[in-house]
Amino acid sequence: MAAMDQHQVIIVCGETGSGKTTQLPKIALMLGRGKLNAKPGERARMIGHTQPRRIAASSVAKRIAEELKTPLGEVVGFKVRFQDRLSKNASVKLMTDGILLAETQTDPLLQAYDTIIIDEAHERSLNIDFLLGYLRQILPRRPDLKIVVTSATIDADRFAKHFASRNGPAPVIMVSGRTFPVEQRYRPFEESRDYGLNEAMADGVDELWQGGAGGDILIFLPGEREIREAADHLRKHSRTSRSREAPKCCPYLPACRRPSKTRFLKRPMVAASCWPPMWPKRHSPCLASAMSSTPARRGSSATACAARSSN
């Protein structure tokens, strides 16, 4: 809080689960930022918070609104393509980085914001790179604007030098996250005519499920077709399983609506998801099983990972 108050730009490095995404907007509100804290006669400005994906922007907005005990859109809202849940007096605006980049065309100095949080900067998409360069240029003309760049994995020194001022590089704040014990099990996989990747995954699921550790199993695959084929195979396999309580199998895709995703998490199950993994917040991996003898490659169906998570 002190660093944000004393510096125009700060770099926050924190592991996944450290709470930086949900807590930084609340810290900015506590420092008097946002429309909620605007004084009479002053121009009311928002706290802008960017996320690389639409589902992340909407889910984070709902989470922060829930923590603040306010209706979604009243104090905290979100704006993504085809959807706007933001009231006129909202103080915190969650959005995709593309939305903020588009706003620079009509608001070159981003006068609508007094604080901008660029989250997941390590993804280094074109939108994020353009925003980081653009914000660096407008900082001298917006001395009142606060910039926070956050990421789970980031080259902090390079970002600190990029936003260097006459006082030196931007300060870097390291935030520790929660850790969980992880057990790794290696299962060599050699594909044959009668034994493919789906059969290997089924054997891995049986091994994890029969251990009785409790929790769910996540399987990461490179594409939607592989996910659906694996889910169909595991459903058929579970019907022939000797286990009294066979796990429920559900595909977990980026295109799924939020209610469908949260429904998946209400009972022990096997969920197949895209690679790179998108961990649900309540899924803390504590047991992993790799089922390939080759390194993971984007677009390759020869690698899968099953992880049992603790509830």
Mean pLDDT of 295-309: 36
Q: Which of 21-35, 129-143, 152-166, 266-280 has the lowest mean pLDDT?
A: 266-280
Q: Which of 96-100, 114-118, 198-202 has the lowest mean pLDDT?
A: 198-202
For residue 300, pLDDT beyond 60: no
> Which of the two residues, 65 and 216, has the higher pLDDT score?
65
pLDDT of residue 135: 94
pLDDT of residue 39: 85
pLDDT of residue 101: 94
Question: Has this prediction a pTM greater than 0.75?
Answer: no
Confidence class for position 275, pLDDT limits 50, 70, 90: very low
Mean pLDDT of 294-310: 36
pLDDT of residue 289: 35
Q: What backbone phi and psi angles, to 5 degrees, belong to 266?
A: -95, -5
Distance CA 162, CA 174 (A): 18
Q: Quote the tokens at residue 154.
A: 């980031």
Q: What is the mean pLDDT of the chain?
A: 78
Q: Are strands 248-252 and 46-51 parallel, antiparallel or unpaired?
A: unpaired
pLDDT of residue 41: 85
Q: What percent of the chain has pLDDT over 90?
A: 36
**80 exposed, middle or buried (CB, 10 Å; 0-12, 13-18, 19+)?**
buried
Mean pLDDT of 40-55: 91
pLDDT of residue 96: 94
Confidence class for position 213, pLDDT limits 50, 70, 90: low
For residue 34, pLDDT beyond 80: yes
If DSSP codes are grouped into helix, strand and coil, which group holds residue 126?
helix
Mean pLDDT of 90-111: 95
Say if CB 85 and CB 72 are below 8 A apart.
yes
DSSP-H helix ranges across the chain: 2-6, 20-30, 54-68, 97-103, 126-138, 156-162, 197-210, 224-239, 258-264
pLDDT of residue 271: 57
pLDDT of residue 22: 92
Confidence class for position 93, pLDDT limits 50, 70, 90: very high
pLDDT of residue 211: 65
Confidence class for position 221, pLDDT limits 50, 70, 90: confident
Q: Quote the tokens at residue 57.
A: 């922007």
Q: pLDDT digit string (tens) for 224-270?
A: 888 888 888 888 888 776 655 666 777 776 655 544 444 444 444 55
pLDDT of residue 214: 67
